[in-house]
Amino acid sequence: MLCAMGMNSAAGMNTAKSLEQHVRVLLIEDSPVDALLVRRHLERATDTLFDQCHIGSLAELADAAQPEPDVVLLDLGLPDSDGLETVHRVRVALPSAPIVVLSGHDDDQLAILAVREGARDYLLKGAIDPRALERTLLHAVEWSRAEAARRSAERELHAARKLEALGRLTAGIAHEINTPTQFIGDNLAFLGRSFSTVLATLRQCRDLVRRLVDPQAPRDYEALRLAAAALDSDEVRFCEEQIPAAVSEALDGVKRVATIVASTKALSHPGHGQRRAVDLHQVLDATLTLARGEWKRVAEVEREYDGALPPVLCYPDELNQVFVNLVVNAAQAMAAAAGAEGKGRITVRTRLDGGCAAIEIGDTGPGIPRELRDKIFEPFFTTKQVGEGSGQGLAIAYSVVVERHGGSIEVESERGRGTKFVVRLPLEHRPAA
C-alpha cells in the first residue's frame, strides 16, 4: 500500500487554491505502470490537491479505507476479484465513496453494467488526460456530496412530517388515552371501596375462627350466625361478582394505553435508517390505533389480513408514516362528505401479489375527480382548503414506497363510490431503478 499527498508540479505555488480542493483518492490498480500513470496525471492537476493512496488488491482494502476516501479509482481486473463483482465488493466496503471505474476494456455494455452496479463513471485507460481525470473525479465527489445533502434533507423532511402528523393526531391520541384512564380510575375507586367491605367481613370471620379454635373459649353461636350472615350479605356477594370484572377492565385499560403509547412511539421514533423484516399487520394495527381519533366518528374500520403474508424487509417507521397519511386522508374525506347516511367504511386489506405484499386502504368517501388523479402524488398538490393540508403527505408516501422500497403506489377512485390506494412492496428489497 502506497499513500502520499499529491503535489501540484505545474501550480505548486498556488497552495491556497489547492487546499480549497482537497480530495482523498484511493486507487485500486494491480498494474504498477497504470498506477504510475494515474499518479502522474493527478500530480499535474491544476486546481486540486489529491491525497493519493494506492493498493493492488481488495485484500488491502480494509487498511486503506481509513480514513474513508472521497473517491475510488477502480480497476476491474484484480488478482483477487474480477469484473462487476469488484464494483460490488468495493461499494459494500465503502458505501459513501463514489466509484470511478478505470478499465482497459472499451466496452459500452460493460460500462452500463458497472454504473448499474454502483459505479459513478467509467473511464478507458490510455484515453484520458490529466484534466479529464481531474474533472471526472471532482464531479463524482460533488455528486456524492450532493446526494448526501439530499438524503439529509429527506430525513429532516420526514422527521418534520412525522412531527406534523403527531401534532395533527394529538387531540385524538389524548382522548384515546383519557378514556381508558378514566375507567381505570373508576375501577380502582370501586376496588378501594369494596376492599373496606371485604376487609370488615374478613376481620369478623378471623375473630370467630380464633374463638372456635380456643378450647377454653365458650361457643358463641350468635357470633357464628352473624359471620355467616356477613359472608352471605348482598355487599359481599356484589363484591364477589364485580371485583373480577373491575380488575379485568382495569387491566384492559392499561393494555389499551400501552398500545397507544407504543403506536405513538413507533411513529415518532427516528428509526435507525436500516431495513428490517417486520410484520406489516402490526404496523397497520399501530396506524389504526394512532389515527382512531380521526376515523372513529365517521367510519367503521374493517381489517382483512392475509395470514400467509410473510415479514417484509422495509423501513417500518417510514411505512408507518405512509399508512397514517392514507388512513387520515380517508377519514377526512368521509368527514367532509358526512351526511344522513351515517358512518362510512375504511377497509384495510393485505394479500400476496406475486413477489410483493399488497396493502389496500380503501374508503367509501366521495372519490377523487378523474382530472385530479394524475396530480395527487405531486408535491404541494392538495384538494383541501388553505391551511388544512400541506400537499406533502402523498408526495412523501410516493417517495417512501417507490424510491426507498422499490415498490409502487396506485390509486383507484370513482366519484361517489370511494377511493382505494394500493401499495405494493417487494418481499425482497430492490431499490428503485
pLDDT, tens only, 245-279: 888 888 888 887 887 777 666 655 555 557 889 99
Taking residue 145's Cβ as centre, other Cβ atoms within 10 Å add up to 13
pLDDT, tens only, 179-210: 678 778 888 888 888 888 888 888 888 877 77
Secondary structure class of 183 (helix, strand, coil): helix
Q: Are 313 and 427 in contact (CB under 8 A)?
A: yes
Residue 243 C-alpha cell reads as: 371485583
Secondary structure class of 176 (helix, strand, coil): helix
- Please compute, for residue 246, the number of CA atoms within 13 A of its CA located in the half-sphere on the CB side: 18
pLDDT at residue 290 above 50?
yes
Place of cell 375507567: 183
Angle CA 20–26–29, to nearest 5: 140
pLDDT at residue 150 above 90?
no
Q: Are 399 and 335 in contact (CB under 8 A)?
A: no
Taking residue 389's Cβ as centre, other Cβ atoms within 10 Å add up to 18
- Please compute, for residue 419, the number of CA atoms within 13 A of its CA located in the half-sphere on the CB side: 21
pLDDT at residue 44 above 90?
no
pLDDT, tens only, 111-143: 999 999 889 999 998 788 888 888 899 999 999
Residue 123 C-alpha cell reads as: 473511464
Percent of the chain predicted with pLDDT > 70: 81
Place of cell 499513500: 3
pLDDT at residue 387 above 50?
no
CA of residue 31 relative to chain centroid, distance:
45
362 vs 157 pLDDT, higher one: 362
- State residue 279's pLDDT score: 93
CA gap 129, 33 in Å, rounded: 16
pLDDT, tens only, 228-241: 887 888 888 888 88
* Cα dist from 346 to 274, 296, 358, whole Å: 31, 10, 16
pLDDT at residue 175 above 60?
yes
H-type alpha helices, 82-129: 84-93, 108-117
Secondary structure class of 413 (helix, strand, coil): strand
Residue 44 C-alpha cell reads as: 499535474
pLDDT at residue 341 above 60?
yes
144 vs 2 pLDDT, higher one: 144
Q: Residue 73 forms beta bridges with which residues?
A: 27, 100
- The letter for the amino acid at 385 is Q
Angle CA 95–402–261, to nearest 5: 90
* Most confident region among 77-91, 322-336, 365-379 by mean pLDDT: 77-91
Residue 85 C-alpha cell reads as: 463483482
- State residue 432's pLDDT score: 46
Q: Are 251 and 188 in contact (CB under 8 A)?
A: no
- State residue 303's pLDDT score: 95
Rounded average pLDDT over 165-169: 63
* Cα dist from 430 to 48, 51, 187, 405, 408, whole Å: 37, 35, 51, 7, 12
Residue 135 C-alpha cell reads as: 474533472
Rounded average pLDDT over 337-342: 61
pLDDT, tens only, 14-35: 444 434 578 899 999 999 999 8
H/E element holding 72? strand 71-74
Under the phi-then-psi rule, with left for phi > 0, alpha for psi from -120 to 50, and beta for the rest, what region is 387? left
CA gap 282, 261 in Å, rounded: 14
Work out the mean pLDDT of the chain and round it to a whole number. 81
Under the phi-then-psi rule, with left for phi > 0, alpha for psi from -120 to 50, and beta for the rest, what region is 342? left
CA gap 334, 288 in Å, rounded: 16
Secondary structure class of 429 (helix, strand, coil): coil
- State residue 26's pLDDT score: 92
